Structure 1
């Protein structure tokens, strides 16, 4: 049963900051610790000490230098005994069998304990002592307590953290998994069972387990629309900050010994950061995932041979997610293409994921082919343009017959690459269901939206790139025919968007909105030109703009500002 909480409040900044626990050191200069302190010899003899410059009368008489190794005694009245906090839970027999996630730890008390653990004592000024001092990172158990408290306050509900996380898990594997097949469902659910108290008494979840679970929850809260998960909007940043903070505490170790989850976690973080309007940080985090893919040699099929079957499958899926994301950034945000055949001496030899993994693999592989064929055409255009070189006397250098034939063949291969999709991956199958969430046909709705919106977006992008290098002028195509071609692509996009259930576009997130925006930008250019097709372009542009506005996308604001 889905949780339906009426609140839509964003978590307070205080709640978000509690996950950014870090060692705190005083910024003001500390007083000299030895000015009014007796040396060790005088303290032992309980004599008055007149030490100046590490020398007092007693030590000079004994031929020694003053030392200050004995810790100073505490002053003031004795405080009341403190209760054991969550970090002492394994030693407390009365709480040993409690679920660690049901323990609520006050963020202020935990922050205080963290500061006390991290601050140096006045006498620890030797290099050895300084090198031994490290920031205190909360344990996964402590993070569980902080997260339970933050979720309770952010949602203004008595709903337990376990109920929230389990519902996020169900939503993830129902709506998000077509885009994140590198999360193995049986293994993930087994980790949840361990996470929520079926593990041995006193056991603590690992850092990577906590990070992955909270990353999955963050992805659901950011991407699943509020109609399907009302409380997600108020919990999204709480889960994201919890996950990123935990990853930061063991990031160096993770980079030294990466696995499939190392890539998946960063991929999910990047998706969430992109959605909350932090594209620069999102790209940086995605870049870490790209470098892990390169370091792990996941482009080479041989790298999977010695791995356990599940880990091999998850690494393979993670590689292709990063491959597609790399191309998507290049098309939608003009970022450089990083993962390509020519990037590696032996090319990319990694096989597609096996169709036996799950029912979404067939659609995922179709998406991989779509981006592969589009990328090969884009790279061929760059190569031809580079070889020809700029000609100051001609706006476009002439194509050789071989170049022209090659570009034509590559475009046709791309254009027909989704012609043979099975019926359950065609837009008509969703239209027949009427958008009913309980219909079997809607299981693939989000994947259908991703495949076909991407196809029309890439078709428009490739047409514009071919126009820029003069491909159509070489075959003598009338400019009006080229404009007509663009409006037909845009009209196909409009029909598709009107056919699909709206929630399937929402689940695809900001990348889907950016693809729609790319088509809208092409129509906007036609509207600005004196063309008989300007009226058609304006009509379809208005429809796309309305859809983007309903998606609450940043792309709609940019297009609206450019509309004459």
Structure 2
């Protein structure tokens, strides 16, 4: 037969849609498509020419690469972890293409991407993100080597943020900096065509999702430091924090599906850092959503069950345990401060929460020995106990308030002795958390006289000041919260609180004055390092004082409240709290 395709001059009106005749195939099975260039455009080169001719090499390359690469959310794990022998494929394909072109006069499209090709594109995407980070750092006028900048961020985290969030294995993070250096090696001497050269690729057989996770965690840590610490402690933080955060989120996007299916400690910690950065930027709602994703991963990993830690590497188990309790505290804090729902509770888990709190002894997460890491872990555990017992008090108060609502004539009569005992005992546990704490964690005066520090000097003292500020403010803030909730539910007699409104306002003003003393005694840098969570606690106390001042009829009480409120407003303004700007404006009007 002539193989000439029939042509119908009249339109078809009935019958099934006609399919095209199959096109001739190459020996490798690929269809011949006319009008396609023999040399396809490089994944990192624009179709309009060399990147050197473009005004913004990074932007042009990124647009081109993101269009050419497939959606990596759809890739399966084996797409970038197993690699066939590509040597035969790469050598056989060009000869077949040229032979077919000579016969047909058309240039064919290459065969469908192999697992190696897909993996290479995955690698190119990660490399692109790291190169974009490198060039962004250069774009803000920073000339120091990038590994020096990253090491400084790690130093700052260890020195100032580790007491609040002991979520990093220092040795592993510093190894990630070396890995990053290898992935973008030679960039200091790169020319304008750097994106068109294969000078950043590594051995693909040694490349895996773990590298992507490590890069996402490293850049998230740097973003956390930039957002949380003041310029005096992190000079480049303001300029680089958004850049590091964007890179970290993009790196995580490269392996998001597989990371969710097979998570480890870094999967949760990276997302926790992302949420913290959003919180520090005043985006509390988005922060809560990101925190929720980290919490769901922890629930899927059953980190509330002690059996889930059996058989794990010691460091991995330690990090998982730490991040679980960090999420537990953050969940309670978010519920108390921002009226969100609890998402980490044994009633939600559907079974008992059997996980133990982190041990103060064991494998160290830090390399430095200038202070006692066990003391910092003890302080970390004390903070978790505050929120654990506070949530207990709130739960028992909720149970008791339901009984009060059903009996208006004798509101406390229907509360059983068991309910009374549970509420009172949980309240006592909350108010005595610090009784057994080491002396250096009970007051700022004891920090200065502590023997816990060794040749670390100020480095160690600031660590302890940060932790003491967090513990003391949290202690009085939770007492204020319980007192207010008790008054709202009409349960004052159960906890020995006065029922008279004036006396209740006086009691709350006394708690507020305790917090004022704490923030006045604390080193200001310790308050700044604690960041938005501490600022929001001060904000809640300030809002309480503002409420009392607006309705107080007693002159002495009103003057006391206004004086304390003025001090808190001054501290909040100096802390530059983004989440507390509305309170500062309304309170300034009230006090004027």
Q: Give the TM-score range, shorter chain.
A: 0.7 to 0.9
Q: Distance in 2 between matches of 1:54 and 1:317?
A: 75
State the shift of 1:51 in Å. 6.4
Residues 118/293 of structure 1: CA separation in 2 closer, same or farther (3 Å cut):
closer
Q: Distance in 1 between matches of 2:57 and 2:10?
A: 45
State the shift of 1:470 in Å. 1.0
Partner of 2:98: none
State the shift of 1:150 in Å. 0.8
1:324 aligns with 2:337: no
1:164-179 alignment runs, 5 A limit: 164-179=149-164
Partner of 2:136: 150
Q: Distance in 1 between matches of 2:132 and 2:259?
A: 23
1:445 aligns with 2:465: yes
Residue from 574, 577, 586 that aligns with 1:550: 574
Residues 66/378 of structure 1: CA separation in 2 closer, same or farther (3 Å cut):
closer
Moved more, 538-547 or 179-188: 179-188
1:2-151 alignment runs, 5 A limit: 65=21, 67=23, 69-73=31-35, 106-117=58-69, 138-151=124-137
Contact 2:444 2:468 in 1 (8 A): no
Residue from 463, 483, 486 that aligns with 1:466: 486
Contact 2:492 2:499 in 1 (8 A): yes
Residues 481/188 of structure 1: CA separation in 2 closer, same or farther (3 Å cut):
same
Moved more, 356-365 or 403-412: 403-412
State the shift of 1:555 in Å. 4.1
Partner of 1:313: 318
Q: Distance in 2 between matches of 1:71 and 1:294?
A: 51
Partner of 1:4: none
Moved more, 460-469 or 394-403: 394-403
Contact 1:494 1:540 in 2 (8 A): yes
1:222-301 alignment runs, 5 A limit: 222-301=227-306
Q: Distance in 2 between matches of 1:477 and 1:123?
A: 86
1:416 aligns with 2:440: no
Instruction: Give the SS at the match of 1:419.
Output: helix
The aligned length equals 484
Q: Distance in 1 between matches of 2:108 and 2:531?
A: 54
Partner of 1:18: none
State the shift of 1:136 in Å. 6.2
State the shift of 1:71 in Å. 2.2
State the shift of 1:559 in Å. 1.6
Q: Distance in 2 between matches of 1:224 and 1:168?
A: 10
Residues 555/270 of structure 1: CA separation in 2 closer, same or farther (3 Å cut):
closer
Instruction: Give the SS at the match of 1:548.
Output: helix
Q: Tell me, which stretches of 5 or more residues in structure 2 are unaligned? A: 12-19, 25-30, 46-55, 72-106, 186-200, 365-372, 450-455
State the shift of 1:258 in Å. 0.7
Write out per-residue CA displacement over residues 253-282 of structure 1, whole angstroms, 9 at most, x where no aligned residue: 001001111110111111111111222221
1:541 aligns with 2:565: yes
Residues 139/206 of structure 1: CA separation in 2 closer, same or farther (3 Å cut):
farther
Contact 1:71 1:123 in 2 (8 A): yes
State the shift of 1:468 in Å. 1.1
Contact 1:330 1:336 in 2 (8 A): yes
Partner of 2:84: none
Q: Distance in 1 between matches of 2:286 and 2:397?
A: 30
State the shift of 1:411 in Å. 1.5
Q: Distance in 2 between matches of 1:337 and 1:54?
A: 69
Partner of 2:530: 508
Residues 180/439 of structure 1: CA separation in 2 closer, same or farther (3 Å cut):
closer
Partner of 1:180: 165
State the shift of 1:85 in Å. 5.9
Q: Distance in 2 between matches of 1:528 and 1:395?
A: 29
Q: Distance in 1 between matches of 2:9 and 2:147?
A: 60
Partner of 1:89: none
Partner of 2:180: 195
1:161 aligns with 2:146: yes
Q: Distance in 2 between matches of 1:160 and 1:105?
A: 21
